[in-house]
Structure 1
Amino acid sequence: MTKEMRVFAFDFNGPAHLSAGTWRHATDRGNEYKKLSYWIEYAKLLEEACFDGIFFADNDGYHEMYKNSVDDSLKDAAQIPTNDPSYLIPAMAAVTKHLSFGVTSSTAYDVPYKLARKFSTLDHLTDGRIGWNVVTSYTNSAARNIAGLEKAQAHDDRYARAEEFIDVAMKLWESSWEDDAVVRDVESSTYVEPSRVHNIEHQGEHFSVPGIHLCEPSPQRTPVIFQAGGSPRGVALAAQTAEAVFLNAMNKEALKKQVDNLRAKAEEFGRNPDHIATLQMITVISAATDEEAQAKYEEYLELVSYEGAMARYSSWSGIDMSQFGPDVPFKNVETNAGQTMLNFFLKMDPSKDWTPRDIAEYSGIGGTSPVIVGGPQKVADELISWIEETGASGFNLANAVKFQDIKDFTEFVVPELQKRGAMRTSFTGSTLRESLFGEGVARLPEDHPGAAYRKQLAAKA
Structure 2
Amino acid sequence: MKRMRLGVFEVAGPQVGGTLSWPHPRSASIRYREPGYWIDVARLLDEAGFDFLFFADGYGYPTVRGELHPLSPAGGINFPGIDPAYLIPVLAHATKRLGFVVTSSTGLDHPLQTARKFATLDHLTGGRVGWNIVTGASQDVIARLFGHDAMRRHDDRYDQADEYLELALRYWQTGWDDDAVLEDRDAQVYADPEKVHPVEFEGDHFRSSGWFAVVPSPQRTPVLFQAGTSARGREYAAGNAECVFVQGTTVAATAANVADIRARAAEQGRDPESLRIMVGVSVTVGETREAALAQRTEFDALQTDEVVNVLYSGNTGIDLLSLDPNRSLEQLADDPSAGSGGTGKAGQMGQSNIDRFLPKDGSPAPTVRQILDQLKGRGTRGFQVTGSVTEVANELESLMDETGLDGFLLEPIFAPTDLEDFARLVVPELRRRGRLPEEPSTGTLREQLTGAGPHLPADHFGARLVR
**TM exceeds 0.5?**
yes
In the aligned structure 1, how far is the partner of 2:175 from the partner of 2:327? 55
Provide the residue aligned with 2:460 in structure 1. 448
Provide the residue aligned with 1:395 in structure 2. 408
User: C-alpha deviations, 1:212-257, integer Å up to 9, x for none?
Assistant: 1121000100000000122222111111110000011312111110
In the aligned structure 1, how far is the partner of 2:424 from the partner of 2:18? 22
Which has the larger share of helix? Answer: 1
Provide the residue aligned with 2:445 in structure 1. 432
Q: 2:327 aligns with which of 325, 330, 345?
A: 330
Equivalenced residue count is 449
The runs of 5 or more residues in structure 1 that have no matched partner are none
The runs of 5 or more residues in structure 2 that have no matched partner are 340-346, 348-352
User: C-alpha deviations, 1:130-180, integer Å up to 9, x for none?
Assistant: 00000111321112212x114421112211111000000000000011111
Q: 1:333 to 1:122 in 2, by over 3 A?
A: closer
For the residue of structure 2 that corresponds to 1:428, the secondary structure is: coil
In the aligned structure 2, how far is the partner of 1:162 from the partner of 1:66? 28
In the aligned structure 2, how far is the partner of 1:255 from the partner of 1:357? 20
Q: 1:352 to 1:237 in 2, by over 3 A?
A: closer
In the aligned structure 2, how far is the partner of 1:203 from the partner of 1:250? 40
Q: Does 1:157 align with 2:156?
A: yes
Give the partner amino acid of 1:373.
Answer: T
Worse-superposed segment, 422-431 or 89-98: 422-431
For the residue of structure 2 that corresponds to 1:4, the secondary structure is: coil
The 5 Å alignment of 1:225-374 reads 225-324=224-323, 328-330=325-327, 334-336=331-333, 344-345=356-357, 354-356=367-369, 359-360=372-373, 362-365=375-378, 367-374=380-387
Give the partner amino acid of 2:327.
Answer: F
Give the partner amino acid of 1:69.
Answer: L
For the residue of structure 1 that corresponds to 2:131, the secondary structure is: strand
Q: For residue 66 of structure 1, report the CA deviation from its aligned partner.
A: 5.5
Provide the residue aligned with 1:141 in structure 2. 141
In the aligned structure 1, how far is the partner of 2:32 from the partner of 2:329? 42
For the residue of structure 2 that corresponds to 1:206, the secondary structure is: coil
Provide the residue aligned with 1:109 in structure 2. 108
Give the partner amino acid of 2:454.
Answer: A
Q: For residue 334 of structure 1, report the CA deviation from its aligned partner.
A: 4.7
Provide the residue aligned with 1:188 in structure 2. 187
For the residue of structure 2 that corresponds to 1:23, the secondary structure is: coil
For the residue of structure 2 that corresponds to 1:220, the secondary structure is: coil
Q: Does 1:386 align with 2:399?
A: yes
Q: For residue 432 of structure 1, report the CA deviation from its aligned partner.
A: 0.8
Q: 1:407 aligns with which of 420, 423, 428?
A: 420
For the residue of structure 2 that corresponds to 1:22, the secondary structure is: coil
In the aligned structure 1, how far is the partner of 2:298 from the partner of 2:367? 22
Provide the residue aligned with 1:52 in structure 2. 51
In the aligned structure 2, how far is the partner of 1:66 from the partner of 1:50? 44
In the aligned structure 2, how far is the partner of 1:430 from the partner of 1:300? 38
Worse-superposed segment, 329-338 or 160-169: 329-338
Provide the residue aligned with 1:176 in structure 2. 175
For the residue of structure 2 that corresponds to 1:97, the secondary structure is: coil
Q: Residue 282 of structure 2 contacts residue 383 of structure 2 at CA under 8 Å; is this kept in 1?
A: yes
Q: Residue 19 of structure 1 contacts residue 363 of structure 1 at CA under 8 Å; is this kept in 2?
A: no
Q: Residue 103 of structure 2 contacts residue 131 of structure 2 at CA under 8 Å; is this kept in 1?
A: yes
In the aligned structure 1, how far is the partner of 2:66 from the partner of 2:111? 36
Q: Residue 62 of structure 1 contacts residue 70 of structure 1 at CA under 8 Å; is this kept in 2?
A: no
Worse-superposed segment, 400-409 or 196-205: 400-409
For the residue of structure 2 that corresponds to 1:159, the secondary structure is: helix
Q: For residue 364 of structure 1, report the CA deviation from its aligned partner.
A: 2.3
Give the partner amino acid of 1:451.
Answer: A
For the residue of structure 1 that corresponds to 2:2, the secondary structure is: coil
Q: Residue 175 of structure 2 contacts residue 211 of structure 2 at CA under 8 Å; is this kept in 1?
A: yes
Give the partner amino acid of 2:460.
Answer: H
For the residue of structure 2 that corresponds to 1:144, the secondary structure is: helix
Aligned-residue sequence identity (percent) comes to: 38
Q: For residue 335 of structure 1, report the CA deviation from its aligned partner.
A: 4.5
User: C-alpha deviations, 1:409-447, integer Å up to 9, x for none?
Assistant: 112211111111112332334111111111x42111110
What is the root-mean-square deviation in Å for CA atoms of aligned residues? 2.4
Q: Residue 357 of structure 2 contacts residue 366 of structure 2 at CA under 8 Å; is this kept in 1?
A: no
In the aligned structure 2, how far is the partner of 1:385 from the partner of 1:83? 36
Provide the residue aligned with 1:99 in structure 2. 98
In the aligned structure 2, how far is the partner of 1:305 from the partner of 1:436? 38
Provide the residue aligned with 2:343 in structure 1. none
Q: Does 1:126 align with 2:125?
A: yes
In the aligned structure 2, how far is the partner of 1:251 from the partner of 1:357? 15
Q: For residue 344 of structure 1, report the CA deviation from its aligned partner.
A: 4.0
Give the partner amino acid of 1:78.
Answer: I
Provide the residue aligned with 2:24 in structure 1. 25
Give the partner amino acid of 1:7.
Answer: L
Q: For residue 59 of structure 1, report the CA deviation from its aligned partner.
A: 1.6
In the aligned structure 2, how far is the partner of 1:351 from the partner of 1:374? 31
For the residue of structure 2 that corresponds to 1:51, the secondary structure is: coil
What's the TM-score once normalised by structure 1's chain length?
A: 0.92
In the aligned structure 2, how far is the partner of 1:64 from the partner of 1:352? 25
Give the partner amino acid of 1:134.
Answer: I
The 5 Å alignment of 1:192-211 reads 192-211=191-210
What's the TM-score once normalised by structure 2's chain length?
A: 0.91
Give the partner amino acid of 1:391.
Answer: G
Q: 1:67 to 1:215 in 2, by over 3 A?
A: closer
In the aligned structure 2, how far is the partner of 1:7 from the partner of 1:96? 16
Q: For residue 318 of structure 1, report the CA deviation from its aligned partner.
A: 2.4
